[in-house]
Amino acid sequence: MKEVKPPKKSYLYYYGIILLVIILLNAFVFPTISGRYVKDVDYSTFLDMVENNQVAEVEIENNYINFVPKDANDKKMYRTGIIEDPDLVDRLHDANVKFTKIVPRELSPLMTFLISWILPLLIFILIGRYLSKKLGDRLGAGGASPMTFGKSNAKIYVEAQTGITFADVAGQDEAKEALQEIVDFLHNPSKYKDIGAKIPKGALLVGPPGTGKTLLAKAVAGESKVPFFSISGSEFVEMFVGMGAARVRDLFKQATEKAPCIVFIDEIDTIGKSRNAGGYGGNDEREQTLNQLLTEMDGFDPDKGVVILAATNRPETLDKALLRPGRFDRRVPVELPDLRGREAILRVHAKKVKMAGDVDLNAIARATPGASGADLANIINEAALRAVKFGRNIVAQEDLEESVEVVIAGYQRKNAVLSTKDKLRIAYHEVGHALVAAKQTHTAPVHKITIIPRTSGALGYTMQVEQDEQVLMSKEQALDKITTFMGGRAAEEIIFSSITSGASNDIEQATKIARAMVTRFGMSEKFDMMALETVNNPYLGGDTTLLVSPETAAKIDEEVLSIIKSCHEKAIQILEDNKDKLHEITKYLFEKETITGEEFMDILTGKPTA
């Protein structure tokens, strides 16, 4: 990306050049333009033209004689100097020339001042505003002029504009309870002052993206019925050194003037990252902004009712000085909702949509473990869009179930053409997963099997849905999950005696679980309960870092491979023992392309299918 460099010279330099150009134009160019049709001639030429009856009109000024020729093709005006000539009037009269003497009139001093000074100044100001706007657009300042540098970009909401309360926030009961004290303090500050308690100056909302951190902050403001300042951490940082600190000062100045109020800083990790010990390689502008934020949080009086809320999904990167008591005293986790929370969130969003009476939101909540509030809102919206697409005015259960699959695996690729051979292989692959899962004890029930390709790249998938919320995973559950992932490849090996790339995602997921068993869960006999790796950015994917020597890393790989091989062999054995059911279920799936968990279990247990 091309770096945008700040102007090397000050704005006054450019303004001075513009003003000088306008003055020169006013002094030399404009008078020349206004006189571009006047031709100077000598007095004798003027007399000759009068004698030859070539002059139509004459105007006598103080020092000049202006005259117009009779020739219609001659568009010029002529001018000559005045000479003492007593017979001039008689000559003009004899030649039938229309003549007069102009009475000199001077503009009033006010008009002269307006034309000479005010008009050029207005032009200068308009040009300056235009250039400032263009400069602001190029710098990404949203059209802000240099005069607005250092002003906070915070959006200010009053109660009517916010319109959000805790009733609009579901699935975060613990977070709401932690923030309720702030609301109570803003309503009844005397109750806390009488006992000597001080409300926390700031609360840090920590959690994965989409869990409702911003919504919670707005709900606090809505419940408190106070102004709400909202700004992103990235809006403090500018290319000009010192602008971020100036904006922090301006933000707290505005907040103090409108106290009691709530200031919400989203993505505070943008400016709140830990500072380098040596000061080398860091961002001076960001550190100045952080220092100013720390100073302002120390400086304002909490009794005035200014509460600072901030949100981040990278708390491990924040500077320790920012998290100490007296600044962000309280840390409020905003985690992914559990089963009960997901159902509550679905009900909140379902209120805005026309739903069929038999809709089972609990089933949708069970099918979406690990989904955030934003994901669940998207599921409801996708279901409504699907209902409209098929000409219905209410959302049915099938719309919700399909929207879950859209969020998980993408839309159906209806135009995808698969050969009979590939389609049959995919069917065996998916039934292999389902059959291995069904024949184990510690696996979730099969909910659906499909061989319809999706836009995410999946050519088919087997969906399993837990009956209850799983917060822990036993060693037996981990091994059964890995074995289930191996079921697809095992079915290909048994039926076709060859393998394809279709199991790539299964291999990746199985390896991830097996490695976690060895390095983090203490489920390996060789390494016992030794911590071998750490998780970074747990709210943003959870990248891991090994804490071992290369020799130990090689032994870890051997242990992971041993687990995967064992599970792979177990999957093959399960399918060999149930080969007849593998063929029977695959034939049924090949014909219908999508079957439910009930249909799958009916065939597996020998019950007749509908």
pLDDT of residue 93: 80
* 98 annotated binding-site participant: no
The Cα 609–Cα 349 span in angstroms is: 36
Q: Measure the CA–CA gap between 516 and 389, rounded to whole angstroms.
A: 43
Local confidence band at 193 (pLDDT 50, 70, 90 cut-offs): confident
Global pTM reads: 0.71
Q: Beta strand pairing status for 328-333 and 446-450?
A: unpaired
Listed residue (462, 466, 386) closest to 431, CA to CA: 462
Contact 403, 383 (CB under 8 A): yes
| Distance from C-alpha of 262 to C-alpha of 513, rounded to nearest angstrom | 43
The 3-state secondary structure of 198-236 reads CCCCEEEEECCCCCCHHHHHHHHHHHHCCCEEEEEHHHC
Question: Which residue type is seen at 199?
Answer: I
> Residue 26 pLDDT > 90, yes or no?
no
pLDDT value at residue 45: 87
User: Coil, strand, or helix at residue 276?
Assistant: coil
278 confidence band (pLDDT: 50, 70, 90): very low
Annotated binding residue 210: yes
- pLDDT, average across residues 251-256: 86
Among 159, 266, 154, 263, CA closest to 213 = 266
Q: Taking residues 72-92, what's their average pLDDT?
A: 80
What's the pLDDT score for residue 345?
Answer: 93
207 among annotated binding-site residues = yes
Q: What is the model's pLDDT at position 448? A: 92
What is the percent of the chain where pLDDT is above 90? 32
One DSSP character per residue, 71-116 reads -TT---EEEEE----TTHHHHHHHTT-EEEEPPP-PPPHHHHHIII
Specify the higher pLDDT residue, 504 or 119.
504
Residue 252: its H or E element: helix 243-257
* Angle between the N-to-C axes of helices 579-592 and 475-496, in degrees from 0 to 180, rounded to the nearest 10: 80
Q: What pLDDT was estimated at residue 484?
A: 96
In 261-338, which ranges are continuous DSSP H helix?
A: 269-272, 284-299, 320-323
**429 has binding-site annotation:** yes
For residues 407, 410, 411, 415, the Cα torsion angle rounded to the nearest 10 degrees is -170
281 is in an annotated binding site: no
208 a known binding residue?
A: yes
Q: 373 among the known binding-site residues?
A: no
Give, rounded to a whole angstrom, the gap between the first and last alpha carbons of the chain.
Answer: 61
If one compares 388 and 407, the residue with the highest pLDDT of the two is 388
* Dihedral sign of CA atoms 279, 283, 288, 294 in order: negative
Residue 512 has pLDDT above 90, yes or no: yes
Amino acid identity, residue 436?
Answer: V
Q: Which residue has the tokens 């593998």?
A: 582
pLDDT at residue 6, as a whole number: 44
Average predicted confidence (pLDDT) for the chain: 82
Q: Which pLDDT score, from 0 to 100, does residue 99 have?
A: 78
449 versus 370: which is more confidently predicted?
449
Question: pLDDT digit string (tens) for 51-81?
Answer: 888 888 888 877 888 888 888 777 678 888 8
Joined tokens for residue 208? 């994965």
Of how many residues is the chain composed?
610
Task: Tell me the per-residue pLDDT of 213-243, one tens digit each, with 9 for 90 and over.
Answer: 988 988 888 888 888 888 888 887 765 566 7
Return the pLDDT at 155.
Answer: 59
Banded pLDDT at 36 (limits 50, 70, 90): very low
Distance CA 87, CA 533 (A): 116
- Which pLDDT tens digit goes with each residue over 122-176? 877 877 777 776 665 555 444 444 445 445 555 555 554 557 888 888 888 888 8
Q: What is the pLDDT of residue 585?
A: 95
189 annotated as ligand-binding: no
pLDDT digits (tens, 9 = 90+) for 526-557: 999 998 888 877 777 667 788 889 999 999 99
Beta pairing partners, 39: 78
* Catalytic residue IDs: 430
- % of residues, the chain, pLDDT over 70: 83
Choose between 359 and 164: higher pLDDT. Answer: 359
Computed over its alpha carbons, how large is the radius of gyration of the chain?
41
pLDDT, tens digit, for every residue of 470-485?
Answer: 888 999 999 999 999 9
445 is in an annotated binding site: no
